[in-house]
Structure 1
């Protein structure tokens, strides 16, 4: 199951974010790219307001019609990353495992929000208005990557969940320096909370590894490339059993113990993977052909639990660095091609560098000022 780790501890970077997307390896997914969407019109906007186009950087899920994503960032600094909530009661109608609406649509909803809308307004609309109904359980970290005016702090990010009934229940993170945060497929637990004993082992281990890696890199004056490789090693930390042919039902309870999930599954899933590989390897350098292959591979999510074809494991890894000038380094590592062939580490990497527009602006109100 997915993991997100974030820290504000490195002196050079306002934010460092790490993410493993754990998914069915064959789930059709695009490579990361810039795409454009028309901003949602905020209810308070003037009727004469002209539509605004927003440039978004993300990979996209091609399995569902919404073509949502699990992680993305806009040129204006809207940032979001999502994890599913692991439902233990699969018969709870109020919290379906697989909703009618895509969880990935929650990410693109924030990425495509009116640039003038604050994080608090967006989160409040979803909590109060019931816009998260009909979506499978999720936690969404979202916010505007902005330097808080007159400080060397980042404006806080919210963690929205469709478990929240009121804005008072929404945690805010990353507004203080020197902190490490972790989120997986359970309720978010803040560092130092009395519920910290409920932390999944992978969150505890990942947070400790990230804190140590940042401290060591800062002390040694490590280059950005050296730091990024160290961060990818954290995402590669594997505590999963060596038996990769166990059934999914047997393996799911073990996912909370390992940051990296090697591809695993029972006989039927192994067979599906073999059949996919027999189609050949995808040329990752031909992005247009890759996208076409992925689109052809899709099918409607018409089963109760959605796409469940082939082996399950860590499909994509992402490292994001944001420095104090608002410069973003975004690197995504693909570990598998569309037909389930393993990609050697580094050969599936794509890196994007850009500067956030409005990094020093006061657009949006930091949560601590409310």
Structure 2
């Protein structure tokens, strides 16, 4: 039950995004790295490391974006799912300012052919579709293309996406202010820079647009964005983001701001019900921003088996995944026999990764991902699994 929270309330930043990826902890996932649509990745060594794996007791500072490869005009920054062949992602951004983040929508009706419980195509592929889109394609054109057929065969999802440009944040805010003066309803007052595509929208007119107003906080989890009954975790996360001083100039130090944001992602209000089966615990996840490791006896035994392999840092890129040992491949392909074959259902479930993105008014991006578990399910102390990237958005002032 992932969650993404966004705000336009901080005076120093046009946009702030924070995200928890909740997943089976042992699901093979790379660390964030630069890659191109050709499938190759690029991580330049810095500080004696590989540019993304933290040394013991320290965080890693990444290198700048690599030069463009021949035949490509994309430089994409994201972690990538290594379980499915598409190597999709849940969150990413490009040097050209294409940003996308996805949450799953948990389908529960086996008789709804239009909204399959298990899609044949990767949800993560929806994120990479925008991250690798033609640089000339606008957000509006991408929305139209996806609704025309690009979301068919994909399991339930919501995708927040947009091309980050200074004028869009400024113009949308100005339009919203003017509309308010004319007493126009806020929801229809302006179209923000970010669209929310889902398999619940069949027409462009049904697509919500957000981040068009200054001083706002937005939230999305595993329900529809327009669901009138807001989940407790979304309501709590939005309130915490608004109350954490993010909207005031007082939290101006980037490091202090990041820690305040990570503290929000660490809010654990999950009702403790160890007497319930794993499936029975799923509905409880809507109550907590952070999800501690949960599961039944089979999940715990699988986790113990993985931990017995000893500490091992998460993989840095898809290229590293190709060099996995036979034991690693066996673990990656292992699934619970009582679960569907399209997923990865071994080990405990919980918040696996946390991400904080800051975009300032000069178009500079600060991207920090925090890993909470290593590849064998050993807990990583807070801050010891952090990876930082800093780069300017090309075309920010267009």
**Correspondences of 1:125-140 after superposition (within 5 Å):** 125-128=145-148, 130-140=149-159
Question: Residue 106 of structure 1: which of 126, 130, 133 is its match?
Answer: 126
Is the 2:7–2:211 contact (alpha carbons within 8 Å) kept by the matching residues of 1?
yes
| Corresponding residue for residue 243 of structure 2 | 212
Residue segments in structure 1 that go unaligned for 5+ positions in a row: 40-49, 190-194, 362-370
Question: Residue 203 of structure 1: which of 228, 231, 234 is its match?
Answer: 234
- Judged with a 3 Å threshold, the aligned counterparts in structure 2 of structure 1 residues 143 and 38 are, in CA distance, closer, same or farther, namely farther
* Residues 331-364 of structure 1: per-residue CA shift (max 9 Å, x gap): 0000011111111111111010000000011xxx
Secondary structure of the residue aligned to 2:22 is: strand
Aligned length: 343
Q: Does residue 70 of structure 1 match 2:86?
A: no
Is the 1:181–1:207 contact (alpha carbons within 8 Å) kept by the matching residues of 2?
yes
Distance 2:114 2:167 in 1: 38
| Corresponding residue for residue 270 of structure 1 | 300
Question: Residue 330 of structure 1: which of 367, 381, 387 is its match?
Answer: 367
Is the 2:104–2:158 contact (alpha carbons within 8 Å) kept by the matching residues of 1?
yes
- Judged with a 3 Å threshold, the aligned counterparts in structure 2 of structure 1 residues 75 and 249 are, in CA distance, closer, same or farther, namely same
Question: Residue 249 of structure 1: which of 276, 279, 289 is its match?
Answer: 279
Is the 1:245–1:264 contact (alpha carbons within 8 Å) kept by the matching residues of 2?
no
Secondary structure of the residue aligned to 1:57 is: strand
**Correspondences of 1:1-370 after superposition (within 5 Å):** 1-37=1-37, 51-128=71-148, 130-148=149-167, 151=170, 156-189=193-226, 196=228, 198-215=229-246, 218-244=248-274, 246-283=276-313, 291=321, 292-293=323-324, 296=329, 297-299=331-333, 303-361=340-398
Distance 1:283 1:359 in 2: 35
- Judged with a 3 Å threshold, the aligned counterparts in structure 2 of structure 1 residues 360 and 219 are, in CA distance, closer, same or farther, namely closer
Is the 2:363–2:396 contact (alpha carbons within 8 Å) kept by the matching residues of 1?
yes
* Residues 276-320 of structure 1: per-residue CA shift (max 9 Å, x gap): 111111045987997444973433999345211111110000000
- Judged with a 3 Å threshold, the aligned counterparts in structure 2 of structure 1 residues 247 and 157 are, in CA distance, closer, same or farther, namely same
**Range moving further from structure 2, 89-98 or 61-70:** 89-98
Distance 2:319 2:206 in 1: 45
| Corresponding residue for residue 184 of structure 2 | none
Is the 1:4–1:184 contact (alpha carbons within 8 Å) kept by the matching residues of 2?
yes
Distance 1:289 1:148 in 2: 37
- Judged with a 3 Å threshold, the aligned counterparts in structure 2 of structure 1 residues 300 and 280 are, in CA distance, closer, same or farther, namely closer
- Judged with a 3 Å threshold, the aligned counterparts in structure 2 of structure 1 residues 64 and 237 are, in CA distance, closer, same or farther, namely same
Is the 1:333–1:349 contact (alpha carbons within 8 Å) kept by the matching residues of 2?
yes
Is the 1:38–1:54 contact (alpha carbons within 8 Å) kept by the matching residues of 2?
no
**Range moving further from structure 2, 59-68 or 174-183:** 174-183
Distance 1:146 1:327 in 2: 11
Distance 1:211 1:319 in 2: 16
Distance 2:313 2:169 in 1: 48
Distance 1:290 1:242 in 2: 37
Residue segments in structure 2 that go unaligned for 5+ positions in a row: 40-69, 174-191
Distance 1:349 1:103 in 2: 25
Alpha-carbon offset, residue 247 of structure 1: 2.1
Distance 2:169 2:197 in 1: 27
Is the 1:246–1:265 contact (alpha carbons within 8 Å) kept by the matching residues of 2?
no
Alpha-carbon offset, residue 149 of structure 1: 6.3
Alpha-carbon offset, residue 222 of structure 1: 3.7
TM-score when normalising by structure 2: 0.81
Is the 1:284–1:348 contact (alpha carbons within 8 Å) kept by the matching residues of 2?
no
* Residues 124-170 of structure 1: per-residue CA shift (max 9 Å, x gap): 01102x22111100000000011116937686100000111100000
Distance 1:344 1:123 in 2: 40
Distance 2:140 2:169 in 1: 21
User: Which structure 1 residue ranges, 4+ long, deviate > 6 Å from structure 2?
Assistant: 285-290
- Judged with a 3 Å threshold, the aligned counterparts in structure 2 of structure 1 residues 226 and 153 are, in CA distance, closer, same or farther, namely farther
Alpha-carbon offset, residue 214 of structure 1: 3.6
Is the 1:29–1:61 contact (alpha carbons within 8 Å) kept by the matching residues of 2?
yes
Secondary structure of the residue aligned to 1:159 is: strand
